Structure 1
Amino acid sequence: MLVTAYLLALLALLLAWPVPVALSRAQWPARSPFAAMVLWQSIALAGGLSMIGAMLVYGLSPLGDSLVAAVRRAVKVVLGNEAPNELHFWHLFALSAAALLSVHLVFTLLLTYARIASQRRRHRELLALLSSPSGALERTWVISHPAPVAYCLPGGSRSVTVLSDGLMETLAPEELDAVVSHERAHLTQRHHLLLWAFEAWRSALPWLPTTRLARQAVNSLVEMLADDVARRTARDDVLVRAIALVAVGGEPAGAAAAAGPGSVPAPSAAGAFDADGVDIAGRLSRLLTPRPPLGRGATALVLAASLLLIAVPTVLLIVPGLF
């Protein structure tokens, strides 16, 4: 059991610093954003499982030779109101830390969801007052604003795309179609759920390098995925012009905050990064000088590594007597 705890702690340490740092500096994710997205999710899940599992296994190690046996013994101790003489201070400390961290993660996830839902509700109420349905585009609302603005507001069957009249006046028809296709891709691919999960992870563990790097990477990857959808119907040069024109316009004040992490607002004019830290220059470079996507072998290798990351801590926790 102690060897298992140490292995889980080592895996948690690797997934908390060197692995996410190396992945954040890699160039290949732009060539295969889907595979990179799967890998980031695996790092987050495996890191959290390893962190909690290491403390849990260490805390229960005196009670059995496997986690299952130790849990059964712990249940008997609790139900029988026995004194756990095998457990010392550091074992109880590890168990308390594992329980607190688990509750903290779940509570932060729910709290983040409640905050996002409240922000979207207020945003939707403002849209009802300040915007009007587009007659030409389905499930699209138009706000009166001179700057070119485009973002989506998730909400299940009530999901909408929001455009400004400044955007519609600035962009050519084919550029406008590319922007609408991009924003609708965020909705159809449920990117807001990914952003919600990683935003909650960042809020729960702001001191952990993985959470900051993962949130920034996921924000960029969802934009690349939406760009790839738009590229199916629009030429790359058309999409580049649309992104560049929207990037110099920015979003209405407070739009991103009101929509919450699930929205994908237009970039701000503050520089090469938008309000969510997405590298606008990188997006444009990816379209201007496209590189071939990862081959099937390389993609399969990334997906296999992602699966392995989840499998290793799971096997270490549930297989009796492995170490």
Structure 2
Amino acid sequence: MTPFLLGLIGLALALPVPALLARARWTLRSPGAAIVLWQSLALAAILAMSGAGLATALWLVSGDHPSEWKVALHAAVLGFGVLVWARFWWSAWHSWRDTLAGRDRHRRLVDLLGEPHGLAPAVRILAEETPVAYCIPKRGDNRLVVSRGTIETLGDSSLDAVLEHERAHVRARHDLVLEGFTFLHRAFPRVLRTDAPLRQSQVMVELLADDAARRRTGDAALARAIVALAGSSTPAGALGAGSEAAVRLERIRRRDPRGDRLAALACYLISAVVLVVPTVLLAIPWMLHAWSELT
């Protein structure tokens, strides 16, 4: 029974639970804790399927003359657990390789076409009238890219907010956070997963970068920058300041420190529950029982 319960938990955490949680607005109050929550859901789904596969393997070894249909069902659960892990490592390798290659190509392109900023060596200014701003992260060799239109549209304080927003992405390595979500997202077959964790993580890293910019320039300067850059395009593999404008502006307008603390507490509690409870209540007792039978 344990393999099937773990399998059901894994499927629930991969599809219906994230889809329902994505509709909640309270997670936006504490983006750092919300990222932990979304990571916990994705990781718990994979761990539950892995536990189901391991429990199945132990059952197949320790079972006494099981019926054919039980063997078939357990073999299916075991096969699905193996599939999830194989897809995870396959997607991790390909996504990591393709993302690094794409960023390297784009970095060389902006170095060729962009004008260096005299006071900020990592900044490149593109001769483009449309307001655009994004970063190309790489440890020790990142680029902050802004267009001429961004500089002409924004005042000094709002431009500082944009650059601080992008620097926050680079400092905190938000690109690694998003890549990790991509790996976890692709571990499950398309019909058994939702895009909600990946989409929500993209929103949360923007909110975290906004918090860093707000501390430096204030709410008003950041809000003007968000409006000016709303909807601007961002190359693949980069993190841009123009995405999720409506959500970000709403959070600035309704910021509530007490509500932020309560949201963070709720996120951490749920994260602990989804990671610990299935293991403690299901996996460990069954594995101890199976081990005692083997020995």
TM-score normalised per structure 2: 0.87
CA distance in 2, matches of 1:170, 1:151: 16
- The offset of 1:266, in angstroms, is 4.1
Q: Residues 130-209 of structure 1: matches in 2 within 5 Å? A: 130-205=113-188, 207-208=190-191
Which of 10, 13, 16 is the matching residue for 1:12? 10
Hey, what does 2:235 align to over in structure 1? 256
What amino acid is aligned across from residue 218 of structure 2 in structure 1?
R
Hey, what does 2:293 align to over in structure 1? none
CA distance in 1, matches of 2:202, 2:12: 23
Which of 29, 32, 35 is the matching residue for 2:33? 35
Hey, what does 1:265 align to over in structure 2? 240
CA distance in 2, matches of 1:29, 1:20: 12
- Sequence identity percentage: 38
Hey, what does 1:299 align to over in structure 2? 264
CA distance in 2, matches of 1:217, 1:62: 39
Hey, what does 1:321 align to over in structure 2? 288
Bigger fraction of residues in helix: 2
Instruction: Go from structure 1 to structure 2 and tell me whether the alpha carbon gap of 1:204 and 1:298 turns closer, same or farther (over 3 Å shift).
Output: closer
- The offset of 1:298, in angstroms, is 5.1
Q: Residues 75-86 of structure 1: matches in 2 within 5 Å? A: none
Hey, what does 1:70 align to over in structure 2? none
- The offset of 1:295, in angstroms, is 5.7
Contact residue 32 and residue 293 of structure 1 kept, 8 A:
no
Hey, what does 1:113 align to over in structure 2? 96
Instruction: Go from structure 1 to structure 2 and tell me whether the alpha carbon gap of 1:298 and 1:235 turns closer, same or farther (over 3 Å shift).
Output: closer
1:25-44 deviation per Cα after TM superposition (whole angstroms, max 9, x unaligned): 11211211111111000000
Instruction: Go from structure 1 to structure 2 and tell me whether the alpha carbon gap of 1:230 and 1:292 turns closer, same or farther (over 3 Å shift).
Output: same
Which of 277, 287, 290 is the matching residue for 2:252? 287
Pairing 1:21–2:19 present = yes
Contact residue 240 and residue 288 of structure 1 kept, 8 A:
no
Pairing 1:310–2:267 present = no
Instruction: Go from structure 1 to structure 2 and tell me whether the alpha carbon gap of 1:38 and 1:11 turns closer, same or farther (over 3 Å shift).
Output: same
- The offset of 1:322, in angstroms, is 6.4
Instruction: Go from structure 1 to structure 2 and tell me whether the alpha carbon gap of 1:210 and 1:222 turns closer, same or farther (over 3 Å shift).
Output: farther
Could you tell me which runs of 5 or more consecutive residues in structure 2 were left unpaired when the two chains were aligned. 291-295
CA distance in 2, matches of 1:180, 1:295: 25
1:74-124 deviation per Cα after TM superposition (whole angstroms, max 9, x unaligned): xxxxxxxxxx99993443343333223211211111110011011011111
Contact residue 237 and residue 287 of structure 1 kept, 8 A:
no
Instruction: Go from structure 1 to structure 2 and tell me whether the alpha carbon gap of 1:18 and 1:322 turns closer, same or farther (over 3 Å shift).
Output: farther
CA distance in 2, matches of 1:97, 1:14: 15
1:118-150 deviation per Cα after TM superposition (whole angstroms, max 9, x unaligned): 101111121121113210224212121111111
Range 311-320 or range 121-130, more displaced: 311-320
1:272-296 deviation per Cα after TM superposition (whole angstroms, max 9, x unaligned): xx4xxx3x21211211332334364
Instruction: Go from structure 1 to structure 2 and tell me whether the alpha carbon gap of 1:209 and 1:285 turns closer, same or farther (over 3 Å shift).
Output: farther
Hey, what does 1:57 align to over in structure 2? 55
What amino acid is aligned across from residue 256 of structure 1 in structure 2?
P
Runs of 4+ residues over 6 Å off in structure 1: 84-87
Contact residue 108 and residue 203 of structure 1 kept, 8 A:
yes
